[in-house]
Amino acid sequence: MFGLQWAIKKYVLEKVRSNGYYLEDASRRLRDDEEVVLVAIKSQSGAFKYASKRLKNDRDFVLAALKAKVSIFEYLPNELRNDVAVMLEVIKNNEVYYLRKYVPEALGNNREVLLEAVKKDGYALECASEELRNDREIVLEAVKRAGEVLEYASEELRNDREIVLEAVKKDGYALQYASEELRNDREIVLEAVKQNGNALQYASEDLRNDREIVLEAVKKYYGAFKYASEELRSDKEIVFIAVQKDTDMFQYVSREMQDDKDLNLLLMLKDNKNIRNASTTAMQLIVHDMAQMLARGGAYSQVAANAENKKVAKKTKSEDEAE
Protein backbone atom coordinates (compact mmCIF):
# COMPACT_ATOMS: atom_id res chain seq x y z
CA MET A 1 0.00 0.00 0.00
CA PHE A 2 2.86 2.36 0.86
CA GLY A 3 4.43 1.73 -2.54
CA LEU A 4 1.20 2.65 -4.30
CA GLN A 5 0.81 5.87 -2.30
CA TRP A 6 4.36 6.84 -3.14
CA ALA A 7 3.78 6.17 -6.80
CA ILE A 8 0.65 8.32 -6.78
CA LYS A 9 2.45 11.12 -4.94
CA LYS A 10 5.33 10.98 -7.42
CA TYR A 11 2.85 11.20 -10.31
CA VAL A 12 1.06 14.19 -8.73
CA LEU A 13 4.39 15.92 -8.03
CA GLU A 14 5.28 15.69 -11.71
CA LYS A 15 1.88 17.06 -12.71
CA VAL A 16 1.88 20.04 -10.30
CA ARG A 17 5.50 20.81 -11.17
CA SER A 18 4.42 21.47 -14.76
CA ASN A 19 1.12 23.14 -13.78
CA GLY A 20 0.38 23.97 -10.16
CA TYR A 21 -3.36 24.06 -10.76
CA TYR A 22 -3.38 20.24 -11.02
CA LEU A 23 -3.41 20.39 -7.23
CA GLU A 24 -7.17 20.97 -7.45
CA ASP A 25 -7.61 17.40 -8.71
CA ALA A 26 -5.31 15.82 -6.14
CA SER A 27 -6.62 13.77 -3.24
CA ARG A 28 -7.40 15.41 0.11
CA ARG A 29 -4.32 13.72 1.57
CA LEU A 30 -2.00 15.18 -1.07
CA ARG A 31 -3.54 18.64 -0.80
CA ASP A 32 -2.47 18.44 2.84
CA ASP A 33 1.05 17.36 1.90
CA GLU A 34 3.52 20.23 2.41
CA GLU A 35 5.93 19.02 -0.27
CA VAL A 36 3.23 18.67 -2.91
CA VAL A 37 1.69 22.05 -2.12
CA LEU A 38 5.06 23.84 -2.14
CA VAL A 39 5.91 22.37 -5.55
CA ALA A 40 2.48 23.41 -6.83
CA ILE A 41 2.72 27.03 -5.68
CA LYS A 42 6.22 27.38 -7.10
CA SER A 43 4.60 26.65 -10.45
CA GLN A 44 1.42 28.70 -9.90
CA SER A 45 0.84 30.87 -6.84
CA GLY A 46 -2.92 30.48 -7.30
CA ALA A 47 -2.56 26.78 -6.52
CA PHE A 48 -2.43 27.81 -2.86
CA LYS A 49 -6.23 28.10 -3.04
CA TYR A 50 -6.45 24.30 -3.29
CA ALA A 51 -4.23 23.55 -0.30
CA SER A 52 -5.89 22.00 2.72
CA LYS A 53 -7.50 24.26 5.30
CA ARG A 54 -4.87 23.17 7.81
CA LEU A 55 -1.97 24.26 5.61
CA LYS A 56 -3.64 27.55 4.69
CA ASN A 57 -3.79 28.46 8.37
CA ASP A 58 -0.44 27.01 9.41
CA ARG A 59 1.76 30.05 10.14
CA ASP A 60 5.05 28.18 9.80
CA PHE A 61 4.02 26.60 6.52
CA VAL A 62 2.81 29.95 5.17
CA LEU A 63 6.16 31.56 6.02
CA ALA A 64 7.95 28.77 4.14
CA ALA A 65 5.51 29.12 1.24
CA LEU A 66 6.13 32.88 1.03
CA LYS A 67 9.83 32.20 0.61
CA ALA A 68 8.96 29.95 -2.31
CA LYS A 69 6.37 32.26 -3.90
CA VAL A 70 5.62 35.58 -2.22
CA SER A 71 2.65 36.21 -4.51
CA ILE A 72 0.59 33.66 -2.53
CA PHE A 73 0.06 36.54 -0.08
CA GLU A 74 -3.12 37.58 -1.85
CA TYR A 75 -4.65 34.14 -1.13
CA LEU A 76 -3.86 34.10 2.60
CA PRO A 77 -6.58 34.32 5.26
CA ASN A 78 -6.96 37.83 6.69
CA GLU A 79 -5.56 36.79 10.06
CA LEU A 80 -2.27 35.74 8.47
CA ARG A 81 -2.16 38.72 6.12
CA ASN A 82 -2.09 40.94 9.19
CA ASP A 83 0.51 38.85 10.99
CA VAL A 84 3.71 40.85 11.64
CA ALA A 85 6.06 37.98 10.80
CA VAL A 86 4.18 37.33 7.56
CA MET A 87 4.29 41.01 6.55
CA LEU A 88 8.01 41.20 7.32
CA GLU A 89 8.62 38.12 5.16
CA VAL A 90 6.83 39.83 2.27
CA ILE A 91 9.02 42.89 2.75
CA LYS A 92 12.18 40.76 2.73
CA ASN A 93 11.11 39.54 -0.69
CA ASN A 94 10.87 43.15 -1.96
CA GLU A 95 7.13 42.91 -2.55
CA VAL A 96 5.81 45.76 -0.40
CA TYR A 97 3.22 46.26 -3.14
CA TYR A 98 1.17 43.36 -1.76
CA LEU A 99 1.00 45.00 1.67
CA ARG A 100 0.05 48.35 0.18
CA LYS A 101 -2.70 46.72 -1.83
CA TYR A 102 -4.18 44.18 0.60
CA VAL A 103 -3.36 45.37 4.14
CA PRO A 104 -2.65 49.12 3.96
CA GLU A 105 -4.11 49.78 7.41
CA ALA A 106 -2.08 47.04 9.11
CA LEU A 107 1.03 48.26 7.30
CA GLY A 108 0.42 51.89 8.20
CA ASN A 109 -0.21 51.35 11.89
CA ASN A 110 2.74 49.13 12.77
CA ARG A 111 5.96 51.10 13.20
CA GLU A 112 8.29 48.11 12.91
CA VAL A 113 6.68 46.89 9.72
CA LEU A 114 6.33 50.34 8.14
CA LEU A 115 9.95 51.26 8.83
CA GLU A 116 11.15 48.10 7.07
CA ALA A 117 8.68 48.69 4.25
CA VAL A 118 9.80 52.25 3.44
CA LYS A 119 13.41 51.07 3.32
CA LYS A 120 12.37 48.94 0.35
CA ASP A 121 9.57 51.05 -1.11
CA GLY A 122 9.18 54.71 -0.19
CA TYR A 123 5.58 54.72 -1.40
CA ALA A 124 4.61 52.68 1.64
CA LEU A 125 4.53 56.04 3.45
CA GLU A 126 1.22 56.69 1.72
CA CYS A 127 -0.34 54.05 3.99
CA ALA A 128 1.09 55.52 7.18
CA SER A 129 -1.15 56.60 10.02
CA GLU A 130 -1.20 60.27 10.97
CA GLU A 131 1.10 59.50 13.88
CA LEU A 132 3.68 57.67 11.77
CA ARG A 133 3.65 60.36 9.08
CA ASN A 134 5.23 62.49 11.75
CA ASP A 135 7.89 59.87 12.57
CA ARG A 136 11.15 61.43 11.44
CA GLU A 137 13.08 58.19 10.92
CA ILE A 138 10.33 56.64 8.81
CA VAL A 139 9.82 59.73 6.64
CA LEU A 140 13.55 60.21 6.10
CA GLU A 141 13.95 56.60 4.93
CA ALA A 142 10.94 56.96 2.64
CA VAL A 143 12.08 60.13 0.84
CA LYS A 144 15.53 58.66 0.28
CA ARG A 145 13.86 56.09 -1.97
CA ALA A 146 11.07 58.18 -3.46
CA GLY A 147 11.37 61.93 -3.04
CA GLU A 148 7.82 62.70 -4.07
CA VAL A 149 6.38 60.87 -1.03
CA LEU A 150 7.26 64.03 0.89
CA GLU A 151 3.63 64.77 0.04
CA TYR A 152 2.53 62.28 2.72
CA ALA A 153 4.79 63.60 5.48
CA SER A 154 3.36 65.71 8.26
CA GLU A 155 3.40 69.48 7.95
CA GLU A 156 6.11 69.58 10.58
CA LEU A 157 8.42 67.25 8.66
CA ARG A 158 7.80 69.06 5.37
CA ASN A 159 9.58 71.91 7.13
CA ASP A 160 12.49 69.66 8.18
CA ARG A 161 15.51 70.82 6.19
CA GLU A 162 17.34 67.48 6.09
CA ILE A 163 14.26 65.57 5.00
CA VAL A 164 13.35 68.07 2.26
CA LEU A 165 16.93 68.19 1.00
CA GLU A 166 17.00 64.38 0.68
CA ALA A 167 13.63 64.45 -1.07
CA VAL A 168 14.60 67.00 -3.75
CA LYS A 169 17.89 65.24 -4.42
CA LYS A 170 15.85 62.17 -5.33
CA ASP A 171 13.09 64.03 -7.15
CA GLY A 172 13.21 67.76 -7.81
CA TYR A 173 9.42 67.91 -8.05
CA ALA A 174 9.27 67.13 -4.32
CA LEU A 175 9.99 70.84 -3.84
CA GLN A 176 6.29 71.52 -4.34
CA TYR A 177 5.52 69.75 -1.04
CA ALA A 178 8.15 71.60 0.99
CA SER A 179 7.14 74.36 3.36
CA GLU A 180 7.09 77.92 2.08
CA GLU A 181 10.18 78.64 4.15
CA LEU A 182 12.19 75.84 2.53
CA ARG A 183 11.06 76.76 -0.98
CA ASN A 184 13.04 79.90 -0.29
CA ASP A 185 16.12 77.95 0.83
CA ARG A 186 18.81 78.51 -1.79
CA GLU A 187 20.64 75.20 -1.32
CA ILE A 188 17.44 73.17 -1.42
CA VAL A 189 16.13 74.89 -4.54
CA LEU A 190 19.49 74.58 -6.30
CA GLU A 191 19.53 70.83 -5.61
CA ALA A 192 15.94 70.54 -6.83
CA VAL A 193 16.58 72.22 -10.20
CA LYS A 194 19.76 70.22 -10.70
CA GLN A 195 17.63 67.09 -10.46
CA ASN A 196 14.67 68.46 -12.44
CA GLY A 197 14.80 71.87 -14.08
CA ASN A 198 11.04 72.26 -14.00
CA ALA A 199 11.17 72.32 -10.20
CA LEU A 200 11.95 76.01 -10.65
CA GLN A 201 8.22 76.68 -10.80
CA TYR A 202 7.93 75.78 -7.10
CA ALA A 203 10.77 78.01 -5.94
CA SER A 204 10.07 81.29 -4.18
CA GLU A 205 9.77 84.46 -6.22
CA ASP A 206 13.14 85.63 -4.94
CA LEU A 207 14.92 82.45 -6.05
CA ARG A 208 13.31 82.53 -9.48
CA ASN A 209 15.32 85.72 -9.81
CA ASP A 210 18.57 84.03 -8.75
CA ARG A 211 20.78 83.81 -11.84
CA GLU A 212 22.73 80.70 -10.82
CA ILE A 213 19.58 78.79 -9.96
CA VAL A 214 17.76 79.76 -13.15
CA LEU A 215 20.82 79.00 -15.28
CA GLU A 216 21.08 75.51 -13.73
CA ALA A 217 17.37 74.93 -14.25
CA VAL A 218 17.40 75.96 -17.92
CA LYS A 219 20.52 73.88 -18.59
CA LYS A 220 18.75 70.87 -17.10
CA TYR A 221 15.49 71.52 -18.95
CA TYR A 222 14.96 74.44 -21.31
CA GLY A 223 11.23 74.60 -20.50
CA ALA A 224 12.08 75.90 -17.02
CA PHE A 225 12.82 79.23 -18.72
CA LYS A 226 9.17 80.26 -18.54
CA TYR A 227 9.31 80.20 -14.73
CA ALA A 228 12.26 82.59 -14.52
CA SER A 229 11.73 86.15 -13.35
CA GLU A 230 11.10 88.91 -15.90
CA GLU A 231 14.60 90.19 -15.27
CA LEU A 232 16.27 86.87 -16.05
CA ARG A 233 14.11 86.37 -19.13
CA SER A 234 16.19 89.28 -20.42
CA ASP A 235 19.50 87.59 -19.60
CA LYS A 236 21.13 86.92 -22.97
CA GLU A 237 22.97 83.74 -21.96
CA ILE A 238 19.90 82.19 -20.35
CA VAL A 239 17.66 83.25 -23.22
CA PHE A 240 19.97 81.80 -25.85
CA ILE A 241 20.19 78.42 -24.06
CA ALA A 242 16.41 78.14 -23.95
CA VAL A 243 15.68 79.36 -27.51
CA GLN A 244 18.52 77.28 -28.95
CA LYS A 245 16.79 74.18 -27.53
CA ASP A 246 13.27 75.17 -28.52
CA THR A 247 12.28 78.26 -30.48
CA ASP A 248 8.85 78.18 -28.79
CA MET A 249 10.62 79.61 -25.75
CA PHE A 250 10.83 82.92 -27.65
CA GLN A 251 7.29 83.70 -26.50
CA TYR A 252 8.52 83.86 -22.89
CA VAL A 253 11.46 86.15 -23.64
CA SER A 254 11.07 89.61 -22.13
CA ARG A 255 9.66 92.28 -24.45
CA GLU A 256 12.92 94.17 -24.35
CA MET A 257 14.97 91.10 -25.31
CA GLN A 258 12.62 90.14 -28.14
CA ASP A 259 14.11 93.01 -30.18
CA ASP A 260 17.63 91.64 -29.82
CA LYS A 261 19.17 91.31 -33.29
CA ASP A 262 21.31 88.25 -32.49
CA LEU A 263 18.40 86.43 -30.91
CA ASN A 264 16.18 87.01 -33.92
CA LEU A 265 18.91 85.88 -36.27
CA LEU A 266 19.22 82.68 -34.23
CA LEU A 267 15.48 82.27 -34.43
CA MET A 268 15.54 82.46 -38.23
CA LEU A 269 18.58 80.23 -38.60
CA LYS A 270 16.88 77.55 -36.52
CA ASP A 271 13.86 77.50 -38.81
CA ASN A 272 12.82 79.78 -41.68
CA LYS A 273 9.25 79.49 -40.49
CA ASN A 274 10.24 81.53 -37.46
CA ILE A 275 10.65 84.63 -39.59
CA ARG A 276 7.01 85.46 -38.94
CA ASN A 277 7.72 85.42 -35.18
CA ALA A 278 10.75 87.65 -35.38
CA SER A 279 10.65 91.17 -33.99
CA THR A 280 10.03 93.91 -36.58
CA THR A 281 12.69 96.11 -35.03
CA ALA A 282 15.23 93.29 -35.08
CA MET A 283 14.31 92.39 -38.66
CA GLN A 284 14.99 95.96 -39.76
CA LEU A 285 18.41 95.86 -38.11
CA ILE A 286 19.23 92.52 -39.70
CA VAL A 287 18.17 93.69 -43.15
CA HIS A 288 20.19 96.89 -42.70
CA ASP A 289 23.30 94.89 -41.72
CA MET A 290 22.86 92.54 -44.67
CA ALA A 291 22.49 95.46 -47.02
CA GLN A 292 25.73 96.96 -45.72
CA MET A 293 27.54 93.65 -46.10
CA LEU A 294 26.30 93.32 -49.68
CA ALA A 295 27.28 96.89 -50.39
CA ARG A 296 30.77 96.30 -49.03
CA GLY A 297 30.98 93.09 -51.02
CA GLY A 298 29.86 94.84 -54.21
CA ALA A 299 32.34 97.68 -53.77
CA TYR A 300 35.16 95.20 -53.22
CA SER A 301 34.21 93.30 -56.39
CA GLN A 302 34.27 96.50 -58.47
CA VAL A 303 37.70 97.51 -57.16
CA ALA A 304 39.05 94.04 -57.87
CA ALA A 305 37.67 94.13 -61.42
CA ASN A 306 39.22 97.53 -62.11
CA ALA A 307 42.57 96.32 -60.84
CA GLU A 308 42.44 93.26 -63.08
CA ASN A 309 41.56 95.39 -66.11
CA LYS A 310 44.57 97.58 -65.45
CA LYS A 311 46.84 94.53 -65.30
CA VAL A 312 45.53 93.26 -68.64
CA ALA A 313 45.94 96.66 -70.27
CA LYS A 314 49.50 97.02 -69.00
CA LYS A 315 50.41 93.54 -70.21
CA THR A 316 48.99 94.26 -73.71
CA LYS A 317 50.92 97.52 -73.96
CA SER A 318 54.20 95.77 -73.05
CA GLU A 319 53.67 93.11 -75.69
CA ASP A 320 52.98 95.76 -78.37
CA GLU A 321 56.18 97.64 -77.51
CA ALA A 322 58.21 94.42 -77.68
CA GLU A 323 57.07 93.84 -81.25
* Cβ-contact 208, 228 below 8 angstroms: yes
* Cβ-contact 17, 39 below 8 angstroms: yes
Q: How many other CB atoms sit within 10 Å of the CB of residue 123? A: 18
Q: What is the pLDDT of residue 6?
A: 87
Amino acid letter for position 156: E
pLDDT band at 176 (very low <50, low <70, confident <90, very high): very high
Q: What is the DSSP string of 170-205?
A: H-GGGGGGS-TTGGG-HHHHHHHHHH-GGGGGGS-T
Q: What is the pLDDT of residue 272?
A: 52
For residues 122 and 291, which has the higher predicted lDDT (pLDDT)?
Answer: 122
* CB-count exposure of residue 191 (10 Å: 0-12, 13-18, 19+): buried
> What tens digit of pLDDT does each residue of 287-317 get?
445 445 445 554 444 544 454 455 444 544 5
State what percent of residues in the chain have pLDDT above 90. 74
Q: What is the pLDDT of residue 50?
A: 97
* Cβ-contact 114, 128 below 8 angstroms: yes
- Calculate mean pLDDT across residues 212-223: 97
> What tens digit of pLDDT does each residue of 39-51 get?
999 999 999 999 9
Q: What is the pLDDT of residue 267?
A: 77
Cα 17 → chain centroid: 40
pLDDT band at 277 (very low <50, low <70, confident <90, very high): low
Residue 162 parent element (H or E)? helix 161-170
User: What values do phi and psi take at 57, rounded to 5?
Assistant: -110, 5
> What tens digit of pLDDT does each residue of 15-41 get?
999 999 999 999 999 999 999 999 999
Instruction: Report d(CA 217, CA 238) in Å as an integer.
Output: 10
Q: What is the pLDDT of residue 3?
A: 79
| Closest by Cα among 194, 196, 205, 261 to 228 | 205
What global pTM score does this model have? 0.78
- Calculate mean pLDDT across residues 125-144: 98
pLDDT at position 245 over 60: yes
Q: What is the pLDDT of residue 291?
A: 45
pLDDT at position 283 over 60: no
pLDDT band at 5 (very low <50, low <70, confident <90, very high): confident
Q: What is the mean pLDDT of the chain?
A: 87
- Calculate mean pLDDT across residues 142-151: 98
- Specify the 3-state DSSP secondary structure of 75: helix
Angle between the N-to-C axes of helices 34-43 and 59-68, in degrees from 0 to 180, rounded to the nearest 10 = 30
- Calculate mean pLDDT across residues 222-242: 95
* Cβ-contact 89, 66 below 8 angstroms: yes
> What tens digit of pLDDT does each residue of 80-105 get?
999 999 999 999 999 999 999 999 99
Q: How many other CB atoms sit within 10 Å of the CB of residue 38? A: 20
User: What values do phi and psi take at 225, rounded to 5?
Assistant: -55, -35
